[in-house]
Amino acid sequence: INTKLPNVATTIFTVMSNMANEYKAINLSQGFPNFETDSKLMNLVTSAMQKGYNQYAPMPGLASLREIIAEKTNALYNSNYHPDTEVTVTSGATQAIFTIISAFINKGDEVIVFKPAYDSYEPSIELFGGNVIPVQLSTPNFTVDWEEVANKITSKTKMMIINTPHNPTGTILSKEDMLKLENLLKGTDIILLSDEVYEHIIFDSQPHQSVARFPGLSERAFITASFGKTFHTTGWKMGYCIAPKELMEEFRKVHQFNVFCSNHPMQYALAEYLKTPDNYLSLPNFYQKKRDLFLSLIKDSKFSYTPASGTYFQLLDYTSITNESDVAFAERLTKEYKIASIPVSVFNLNSQDDKVLRFCFAKTDETLKKAAEILCEI
């Protein structure tokens, strides 16, 4: 048979989490918290089920949830999204991303993707016959060379995907970056997909430069978000996307046949829980403490690093430890030292030379301490 994704293997997150389980290693690979979500949120799900929210939700999402998402977004970013026509609740950000790509990408369309990139973007583009046009982030700080981006825009460029705060590097786009991007896209028909799943996980009092703040960007953009990241519930697979009405209409044409709707009782619970802004506004402080704890505990190790500006991932450079490839070293760390991480080359292009691993610090302080002890022995 003529298969559609001949070069795609099982995602690294499954590979590394399986290896962590097999070797009983501390799992700092796949990004998920090892602590519970707020019991208030769990109780809201139970009460939603008892109240009878057990059948299909409305196709675009529960009205009360869309309303509070619009309210929150507009308040935080001074934007003007309408809950009826410009917000859709999805089964995680992954589904939103896949649905956006499937709704717009045709054979031969070019999509600009910054590398390293989250691993779902490219296979999704390829499935619909699109061509990935990679732009490598510039080392050492993973910044964007906007001139290079300008040079890669052609008449075939249909979409560009950005991600801030950025997985796997933990970097963020600045206001200046966004203004340059706005300028670059002016007068084009390029659709922007802005993956902002870590919008609330950003450190050192830096503001999140959401695309929603920039009218010249938001008029052409989908923004994707994930409740999994924000409320420590990655297993719920709940998220949403926002976009101007004309774009959202196209999105919903696909969404209705892709999943139709997402989990109803959880939508009710999330709508209630979002009524308390502190439930997400407390996140930068919460995760910054974890980042700082982790980094303070490994400061005498042989790894070097620049502290993450956002996300719950920290890249560690192991140049002074070994010459091994990141894949080989990540495997050895899991098997011999009992600590699992993600080799960054899998998100990258031609980058077997990268000597960096990604560690997830969305873990209890106890786990971070145990992990740091191991990392200091290497």
Residues in touch with ligand GLN (CB under 6 A): 11, 13, 30-31, 167
Q: Which residue has the tokens 């963020």?
A: 172
Q: Count of CB atoms within 10 A of residue 54's CB?
A: 10
From candidates 17, 79, 163, 233, binder to ligand PMP by CB under 6 A? 163
Q: Examine residue 118 and tell whether it contacts ligand PMP (CB under 6 A).
A: yes
Tell me which residue of 288, 332, 338 sits closest to 312, measured CA to CA: 288
Q: Examine residue 239 and tell whether it contacts ligand PMP (CB under 6 A).
A: yes
**Sign of the CA dihedral with 298 first, then 299, 300, and 302 last:** positive
Considering CB distances under 5 to 8 angstroms, the limit depending on partner class, which of ligand GLN, ligand PMP, none binds residue 60? none
- Give the 3-state DSSP-derived string for 226-266, with helices as H, strands as E and coil as C: EHHHHCCCHHHCCEEEECCHHHHHHHHHHHHHHCCCCCHHH
Using the minimum distance from each CB to ligand GLN, give the nearer residue, 61 or 168.
168
| Cα gap 219→217, rounded to integer Å | 5
Q: Examine residue 79 and tell whether it contacts ligand PMP (CB under 6 A).
A: no
Q: Examine residue 164 and tell whether it contacts ligand PMP (CB under 6 A).
A: no
Q: Examine residue 73 and tell whether it contacts ligand PMP (CB under 6 A).
A: no
Q: Examine residue 93 and tell whether it contacts ligand PMP (CB under 6 A).
A: yes
Region from 91-99, 103-111, 131-139, 288-296 binding ligand PMP, contact rule CB under 6 A: 91-99
| Cα gap 103→373, rounded to integer Å | 47
Calculate the CA dihedral of residues 334, 339, 341, 343 and round it to 10 degrees.
-40
Considering CB distances under 5 to 8 angstroms, the limit depending on partner class, which of ligand PMP, ligand GLN, none binds residue 228? ligand PMP
Q: Examine residue 167 and tell whether it contacts ligand PMP (CB under 6 A).
A: yes
Phi–psi pair at 25, nearest 5 degrees: -95, 155
CB of 198 to ligand PMP, least distance (A): 7
From candidates 15, 31, 161, 273, binder to ligand PMP by CB under 6 A? 31
| Tokens describing residue 228 | 């999994």
Beta partners for 310? 202
Considering CB distances under 5 to 8 angstroms, the limit depending on partner class, which of ligand PMP, ligand GLN, none binds residue 30? ligand GLN
Q: Examine residue 268 and tell whether it contacts ligand PMP (CB under 6 A).
A: no
Q: Examine residue 361 and tell whether it contacts ligand PMP (CB under 6 A).
A: no
Using the minimum distance from each CB to ligand GLN, give the nearer residue, 185 or 346.
346
Considering CB distances under 5 to 8 angstroms, the limit depending on partner class, which of ligand PMP, ligand GLN, none binds residue 61? none
| Cα gap 319→174, rounded to integer Å | 28
Give burial (CB, 10 Å; 0-12/13-18/19+) of 209: buried
Q: Examine residue 94 and tell whether it contacts ligand PMP (CB under 6 A).
A: yes
CB of 100 to ligand PMP, least distance (A): 12
